[in-house]
Structure 1
Amino acid sequence: MVERFFQDLTVKALQRGVFQRVKSLTQAIDEYLESQNKKPKPFIWTASVTEILEKVKRARQSLHMTPQK
């Protein structure tokens, strides 16, 4: 869920911005948070536990595969 939050922050508030100073970056983040807090929406899981665990299993298998020589 944290990853999703930062993805939304990046895409909706930061991605196309040019920030010359840290102050302008933090201001953009604060404005995004303020706008989101006016009408908060919960993050909702759409995948089942089984689907998530299967995805983790596939990812682990692909990480442990070694290239054939």
Structure 2
Amino acid sequence: MEQTVSIIVSPEDQVRLAEVIGDLNSPQKHVQRARIVLLSVERRPVIEVARNIGISRPAV
């Protein structure tokens, strides 16, 4: 059984997270966390999120 993380994020917060990802001055740890949240909003399996970002499953 695939493990998923379900997060509810408002559309405004999704825009803010996308801005963090697009800002070249954002620290990479913030960009990585924003990407985890945005992919989790889409109810993707944890392993897919980890592969997409290039991190370990436990990190997600």
Give TM-score, length-normalised by structure 1: 0.28
Q: Which has the larger radius of gyration?
A: 1
TM-score, with length taken from structure 2: 0.32
Tell me which protein shows more helix as a share of its residues. 1
Higher RCO (Cα < 8 Å, 6 or more apart): 2
